Amino acid sequence: MRRVLGTSFALYAPALGLLLVTLIYLAVAYRYKPDLRAFPAGVAWIMVVLLGLDLVSRTGTRIGAALTRWLNPGSVHLGAPAETQPRARQVSAVLWLVAFAALLVLVGILAAVPIYLFAALRWRGRRSYRACALGAAGATLFVWLLFAVVLRVALYPGLLFGGA
């Protein structure tokens, strides 16, 4: 495999793929009116910066290693094997995100957040039912207060509850 700055090109691929998607998102955002593009463009620019840091941290250079230690001291150094988790665990993590996305679409934000958090804390985090309920309720309250009350953004109700 070809190496770039001391690192296999394959290790750059996820960040480069996300960067491409983010740049497309940014280009689309700049087609909106100035007042409508402020939030999506801001999010996209933050993502570009974070992906830039990610790409630099993946290099096999001193700067890359220092950045990795500074941003994520618990991470595995790039010289170690690339696959640190069993494949089944990686697939499981992705499936949890797919399930959350499906919940968002089907039942909406205010129902999906507590369901997902409760389930994730209970089965993946092995927390008590009380901790799961408190965590899910607290996060849902935060989401509702921030978006519905403070920002006055209508939260998506889901396909099952009228969000067509």
Q: What is the pLDDT of residues 119-152, one digit of tens each?
A: 999 998 899 999 999 999 999 999 999 989 988 8
Residue linked to tokens 């996305």: 101
Q: Which contacts of 91-97 are long-range, i.e. CB under 8 A and separated by 24 or more positions?
A: 96/120, 96/124
Using CA atoms, how far residue 75 sits from 29, 49, 81, 154, in Å, is 33, 20, 12, 38
Is 111:156 a contact under the CB 8 Å cutoff?
no
Is 116:103 a contact under the CB 8 Å cutoff?
yes
Domain spans of the chain, in order of start: 3-71, 87-161
Query: At CA 40, angle to CA 38 and CA 45, rounded to 5?
Result: 90
Task: Report the distance separating Cα 22 and Cα 126, nearest Å.
Answer: 34
Is 16:55 a contact under the CB 8 Å cutoff?
yes
- 86 SS3 class: coil
- pLDDT tens, residue order, the chain (164 aa): 687 777 777 778 888 999 999 999 999 999 999 888 888 888 899 999 999 998 888 888 889 888 888 887 666 544 554 456 677 887 888 899 999 999 999 999 999 999 999 999 999 889 999 999 999 999 999 999 998 998 888 888 888 987 66
